[in-house]
Chain A
Amino acid sequence: GQQVMQIPQYQHVQEGEDFTTYCNSSTTLSNIQWYKQRPGGHPVFLIQLVKSGEVKKQKRLTFQFGEAKKNSSLHITATQTTDVGTYFCAGSHNNNDMRFGAGTRLTVKP
C-alpha cells in the first residue's frame, strides 16, 4: 500500500518548549488520524481530520490538514512531561485502508 511519511523520528525538548510532528503523503489522503502511545502502552486515538485545510484543537494540541490533503501536522504548545510518548499519524488514500507513519518519539526534559 501507499506510504505515509512522518518526521522527525525523535524530538527532545525542554519542558515548556513547543513541539511539532509532520505527516506527508505523495498522493491525496481521504482522511488522517492521529494517535498517541505512552511508553509501555498502546496507541490511543486522538483525532481525525477529513476536510481540506481543517484545523482542530484539543487544549494545547493543534492538528492541521493541508489544503491539498497531502500533509498534516500536530503541534503541542508549551510541552509538559505528560506529553511524553510516540505520536503516530495514520492516513487513508482510498477509504479502504489506513496506514500508519513511523511515529515521532517525544521526550520532555523537566
Chain B
Amino acid sequence: GAGVSQSPSNKVTEKGKDVELRCDPISGHTALYWYRQSLGQGLEFLIYFQGNSAPDKSGLPSDRFSAERTGGSVSTLTIQRTQQEDSAVYLCASSLARATDTQYFGPGTRLTVL
C-alpha cells in the first residue's frame, strides 16, 4: 500500500497563529510517532501513539504543542501561538505494532514561522 503521507508539505505562518499538521500512517500500522528536525539537526522526539494506550507525550516541548490520533489512524499535530523557534521540519513515522518495529517516515511538513 501507500507509504506515510503528510500534509501540507510546506506551511508558512505568522508568529502567534495556530497551525495543524496532518499525518496519514500506513494502513494497519498501530504505532505513530511525531518528530521535529531543525535544519541540519537530529530527530527530536515529540510524541508516540501506540494502539489504544495513552500516548507518550514526554517529548512535547511546551503546552503549546498537542497531538491527537483519531480512530487509531490519522494524527494531527497542533501548535498554538506559533513562535519563530518552532520553524522546522515535522516528521511523522508509523510502525506495524511495537515500538521496536521498523519506522516508516513520511516526507515531512516544513513549517516556517515569520
Contacts and interface: CB of A to CB of B under 8 A. Distances in A.
Interface of A: 1, 30-31, 33, 35, 42-45, 48, 88, 90, 92, 95-103, 105
Determine chain B's interface SS by DSSP, over half rule.
Answer: loop
Contact of B43 (A97, A103, A105): A103
Contact of B42 (A1, A45, A88, A98): A88
Given A88-B42, A105-B40, A98 B99 contact: yes
12 contacts: A30-B100, A31-B100, A35-B103, A43-B91, A43-B93, A43-B103, A92-B100, A95-B98, A98-B99, A100-B42, A100-B45, A103-B43
A63 B45 CA distance: 24
Contact of A45 (B35, B58, B98, B102): B102
Q: Which residue of A43, A90, A101 has the most chain B CB atoms within 10 A of its CB atom?
A: A43
A33 B102 contact: yes
Interface of B: 35, 40-43, 45, 48, 56, 58, 91, 93, 98-100, 102-108
A2 B99 CA distance: 15
Contacts of A103: 42-43
Contacts of A102: 41-42
B99 A45 contact: no
